[in-house]
Amino acid sequence: MDRAGPQFSNKELGAIWIDDGVGAILQALEDNGQLNNTIIIFQQDHGIETKKALYENGIRIAQFVHYPDVFGVAGMTFSGLVSTIDIGPTLFDFANITSLTSTGYYDMDGKSWKDAIGNTTKETAWKDERCLFFEMQQDRAVRCGCEKYITIPDKSESFTATKGRQNGLAVGDALYFQMCDSSGNYLNFPNGNPEQRRRRTRRNRVDTGTLSEVLSCFLNKTSPSNNPDYVTTCIKTDDPPCQDSSRMCSRRRRRGATSCNRRRFRQKCPALCGEC
């Protein structure tokens, strides 16, 4: 209380309490000669604003890692896309445990960032090419590099839709967002939040379709009815997605009447006609 001064708030007291707690742990490790033999991961939780939602405010958090000096990565900032499921594989990697199944551990969905730290090429791949999967209730989202895609099947029962309406964010069945500026840098909030404005999925048909395929890949991997899959990597490719370009295709599909024997029809409805 003395450190907070005469005018204090719960936020100030909370920050002081965390500072004291973390400081006590670090001091105990240092007193016992173990600080430089310990990896410490400190994560900051997201706020209440879009809790239980798939917007960035609800899924993105800050993470700080203390590494022993022997790894030579002190003071570095890693810009790759990292998930909490990566923590386990990374710690095993730093501990030189390379084969989990041979040591009696389960395989894991995450991947180690150990070799990407300090390696510009690998860090760029983690930043621009990696895809992360998120889910809440029936809503699903995928983030690949700077691009993000959210699906909300039922907006009336969706926490994501509710939080979006409350905070002036875009709400819709299918949402496509470009999360970076023209130079490829992640847009910092609150200024210029790209999720405040919905990009039309029709105008971004190729990008939306490709992200939708990545999302389907993750859903197949995580389906409880399928065998566990720790091998398949779900990534965004430059190949155009296999999808029909006309509403006529879906109408013909519902009626069960097609004209796939006609070349122009096959060009407009390649998915319906099994062309891809």
Check whether 254 has a pLDDT greater than 80.
no
Instruction: State how far the Cα of 207 lies from the Cα of 204, in Å rounded to an integer.
Output: 6
| Chain segment 178-205, per-residue pLDDT in tens | 888 777 777 765 566 888 876 655 556 6
pLDDT of 5 strictly over 70: no
Residue 52 lies in a domain: yes
pLDDT at 19: 92
Q: Say yes or no: 205 and 248 in one domain.
A: no
| Residue 103 and residue 192 share a domain | yes
Mean pLDDT confidence for 216-233: 88
pTM, entire model: 0.77
- SS3 state of residue 15: helix
Residue 119: what pLDDT? 93
Query: Would you say residue 20 lies in a domain?
Result: no
Domain count, the chain: 2
pLDDT the model gives residue 22: 94
Residues 126, 224 within the same domain: yes
- Verify that 60 and 180 share a domain, yes or no: yes
Based on the number of CB atoms within 10 Å of its own CB, is 164 exposed (0-12), middle (13-18) or buried (19 or more)? buried
Are 131 and 252 within one domain? no
Burial class (CB in 10 A: 0-12, 13-18, 19+), 52: middle
Confidence of residue 13 (pLDDT cuts 50, 70, 90): confident
Both 270 and 246 in a single domain? yes
Average pLDDT rounded to a whole number, residues 128-155: 94
Q: Is residue 198 part of a domain?
A: yes
pLDDT given at position 236: 83
Domain that holds residue 249: 242-276
Residue 1 lies in a domain: no
Q: Same domain, yes or no, for 100 and 81?
A: yes
Tell whether 149 and 257 lie within a shared domain: no
Cβ-based burial of 131 (10 A; exposed 0-12, middle 13-18, buried ≥19): buried
- Percentage of residues in the chain having pLDDT higher than 70: 78
Q: What is the 3-state secondary structure (H, E, C) of 1-14?
A: CCCCCCCCCHHHHH
- The answer to whether residues 216 and 88 belong to one domain is yes
pLDDT tops 60 at residue 155: yes
Average pLDDT over residues 239-246: 57
Tell me, yes or no, whether 13 lies in a domain.
no
Q: Report pLDDT for 205.
A: 64
Quote the pLDDT of residue 239. Answer: 59
pLDDT at residue 275, rounded to an integer: 61
Q: Is residue 17 part of a domain?
A: no
Task: Verify that 50 and 136 share a domain, yes or no.
Answer: yes
The pLDDT score that the predictor gives to residue 64 is 94
Q: How confident is the model at residue 228 (pLDDT cuts 50, 70, 90)?
A: confident
Per-residue pLDDT of 17-71, as tens digits, reads 899 999 999 999 999 999 999 999 999 888 788 889 999 989 999 899 999 998 9
